[in-house]
Chains A and B, each alone.
Chain A
Amino acid sequence: MTAYRYDYDVITQWIEPGEKVLDLGCGDGSLLQHLMAVRQVQGYGVENDPDKLVSSIRSGINVIQMDMEKGLTGIESGFFDHVIMSLSLQAMHNTQGILAEMLRVGREAVVSFPNFGYWRHRQSILNGRMPVSESLPHQWYNTPNVRFFTIADFDALCDMNGIAVRERLAFDEGKLVLEEPNFLASVAVYRLGRNG
């Protein structure tokens, strides 16, 4: 995850000082630590991996153990300003459920994910092998990822579920991509809201 700190910079830009922020799949707590330092947010992390939970505790952030596949039951609607999921959406089964939950408990959601439509990944598949890259570092047999989708796929899902895409930035291994992101970007970061 630390290889993709540039998505932290984008996320940080979208957070106002003093906000209440929920970070889903907070890992070792580094994003929340960063946001606490530069945005003075009141942050809470969610993590279900026992070892990462200990790392989060050690980093001094608030972390709540929860199985996000079952939703964010117990957290009040509209409690958070931003709910973040950095590079974890592709590892969740209940994609639509968690997006709905993020926009229930948060005013806005921030989601980043690896774009499986990235040209190098397409090339890899054309060559007959599943893609392995900086943004997809695992082999097919040990990847934690369970959902394989592109920027175009995600746009279509948001459209179908009435989710407003307020902003989208796309990157090619850290460099901003303005043209043809679904082909040229390896990672996308979205700022989402509810329509209406």
Chain B
Amino acid sequence: MIQPQSVGTVAPQTARFTEPLPLRSGGTLNDYELVYETYGTLNAARSNAVLVCHALSGSHHVAGTYAGQPGSTGWWDNLVGPGKPLDTRKFFVIGVNNLGSCYGSSGPNTINPATGKLWGADFPFVTVEDWVHSQARLADLLGIERLAAVIGGSLGGMQALSWTLQYPERVGNAAVIASAPKLTAQNIAFNEVARQAILTDPDFHGGHYYEHGIVPERGLRLARMIGHITYLSDDAMAEKFGRSLRHGKAVYSYDVEFEIESYLRYQGEKFAGFFDANTYLLTTKALDYFDPAFEHGGNLNAALARATADFLVVSFSTDWRFAPERSREIVYALLHNRRNVSYAEIDSVAGHDSFLLDDARYHALLGAWFDRLEV
């Protein structure tokens, strides 16, 4: 054992693809780019690659920091690195930014090669399946025929699951964390409120706000505030903020009084400062559309029959946005198909956000799982 370390200074790379990518929404991306990062070394047999799939607001920047940018630590840095659960001394780890995102891969805020103008609202709908398809092409480019594992949390977990269905022969293991086989009506409802906040912002301009030199910040702020409420648990919010009042007493104003208001406004503000509204819309729709059982008359057992990977499914006790029940649906459908599957429900107070935290038991579990993978 060594002390867990950072992967150190990293730099993103860009891959350009000119083979058209057919999309489930009916369109085609003729020419697109994917931004990605890698950590560790691909072994001679090219058998030690692990793909990390990101969730709604994540990116290819999974671990490490960018040169000269303190505070630029990757979003899952506590998981990936030498001596960490996903150990880069053993594995070659790939983080890739999904299509439609706003962190460099082709998306609404990049140039449409056909017009020479920003895509904006014209960027086509992309789905979890499309992302996995494009990720497989990146694996081709990197000379990786078969991934040792795919791992993801939340929307990233949906991609990990989808990999095992779209490319069963190309993935050995899948870790599906704080995820679901499809969103519930309640979950879609939260996404819809967030989308309406953006769509009805006068600064949205039908998605072509770039041309007006403006960003629908109010909509983005509200969307993020709603999201944050659902990512935290009732208990975590009570513990962190309770009913604490900024002025120690009610002052009868719509300015910040309760600390929870301050927190939500801060999170909304911060998010609106860097995230793209069109990306938010596209990504929440991708979440809503994901439902591999749909083509099988709603039968998840039938949908997962294609999978051959070994699975680890993890949920968190206080996660009500992607509740443990939803993870269990995946587990029992895999069990029905006699797949190798392990399932853990981690006791945590932090709600959906738990999957990003470095809870000792959670990380011990992931470490044990990755340790036993043969590459």
Contacts and interface: CB of A to CB of B under 8 A. Distances in A.
B331 A64 contact: yes
A23 to B, nearest CB: 13
Nearest to B334: A62
Contact of A58 (B332, B346, B372): B372
B179 to A, nearest CB: 16
A62 B342 contact: yes
B372 A64 contact: no
A65 interface: yes
A44 B336 CA distance: 12
Nearest to B346: A50
A124 B331 CA distance: 46
A75 interface: yes
A75 B364 contact: no
A57 interface: yes
Nearest to A80: B335
Counting chain B residues whose Cβ lies within 8 A of the other chain, the interface size class is 20 to 34
Contacts of A60: 372
A59 to B, nearest CB: 8
B340 A54 contact: no
A64 B338 contact: no
Contacts of A55: 368
B328 interface: yes
Nearest to B332: A74
A40 interface: no
B192 interface: no
A76 B365 contact: no
B332 A53 contact: no
A2 B186 CA distance: 47
B361 interface: yes
A107 interface: no
Contacts of A61: 342
Interface in B317-353: 328, 331-332, 335-336, 338, 340-347
Nearest to A63: B342
Contacts of B347: 50
A142 B290 CA distance: 48
A62 B372 contact: no
Nearest to B345: A65
A20 B338 contact: yes
B343 A65 contact: yes
A51 B328 CA distance: 20
Nearest to A74: B332
B340 A58 contact: no
Interface in A28-65: 42, 44, 50-51, 53-58, 60-65
B358 interface: no
Contacts of A42: 338
19 contacts: A50-B344, A50-B347, A51-B361, A54-B361, A54-B364, A54-B365, A56-B342, A58-B368, A58-B371, A61-B342, A63-B342, A64-B342, A64-B343, A65-B344, A65-B345, A74-B328, A75-B332, A79-B335, A79-B336
Interface of B: 312, 328, 331-332, 335-336, 338, 340-347, 361, 364-365, 368-369, 371-372
The 6 closest A-B pairs by CB, nearest first: A58-B368, A57-B368, A74-B332, A64-B343, A65-B344, A63-B342
Given A55-B368, A74-B331, A75-B335, 12 more contacts: A44-B335, A44-B341, A50-B361, A53-B344, A57-B312, A57-B342, A62-B341, A63-B343, A64-B331, A64-B342, A66-B343, A79-B335
